[in-house]
Structure 1
Amino acid sequence: MLALARLLIMGFVVLTVIYVALSFYSRRVRRGKLAREWDEDIRTGDRDAFIEDGLQDYDQSLRRKLILGVYIVPVTLVAIIIYLTNFY
């Protein structure tokens, strides 16, 4: 039982680090795309406001929510492996 608790705690820590890194990377890429779009196409108004509005839209997007798969997929796979190892 102690081994399972250690696995869960370490897994949660590792998945959290991966989630945070992936979130920062994805947000940075989106910010770059918005800045490039403004530089190439728009060039009117406030550039920073345009980028912030785009990032607020990004925060509500499906892509942002899919990053939570970092937690869901590995936990599901480990649960399936444990189940198949013990009960099948």
Structure 2
Amino acid sequence: MAALARLMVIGFIVLTVIYVCLSLYSRAVRKGKLRAEWHEGPQDQPLEAFLEEGLEDYDKSLRRKLILSVYVIPVILVSVVIYLTNFA
């Protein structure tokens, strides 16, 4: 039982680090695309306002929610492996 608890704690820490890295990377990529879009198009509003509005839309997007699958998929895979190893 202690081994399972240790696996869960270490797994949660590793998955959190992966989630934070993916989240920051995805946000940086989106911010870069918004900057390029602002430079190419008409500058009706200041850059900071344009970025803020675009990142608010990003925060509500499906991509942002899919990054949470970093937690779900490994837990499901480990559960399936444990089940198949012990009960199948």
Question: What is the RMSD of the two structures over their aligned residues, measured on CA atoms?
Answer: 0.6
The corresponding residue for 2:53 is 53
Residue identity opposite 2:38 in structure 1? W
Count of aligned positions? 88
Q: Name segments (4+ residues, structure 1) moved above 3 Å.
A: none
Residue identity opposite 1:7 in structure 2? L
The corresponding residue for 1:22 is 22
Does 2:40 correspond to 1:40? yes
The corresponding residue for 1:78 is 78
Scaled by the length of structure 2, the TM-score of the pair is 0.97
Structure 1 residue 41 displacement after superposition? 1.2
Gaps (5+ residues) in structure 2?
none
Residue identity opposite 1:76 in structure 2? I
Scaled by the length of structure 1, the TM-score of the pair is 0.97
Residue identity opposite 1:8 in structure 2? M
Note the alpha carbon deviations across 1:2-57, whole angstroms, 9 max, x for none. Answer: 00000000000000000000000000000000000000112222111001000000
Gaps (5+ residues) in structure 1?
none
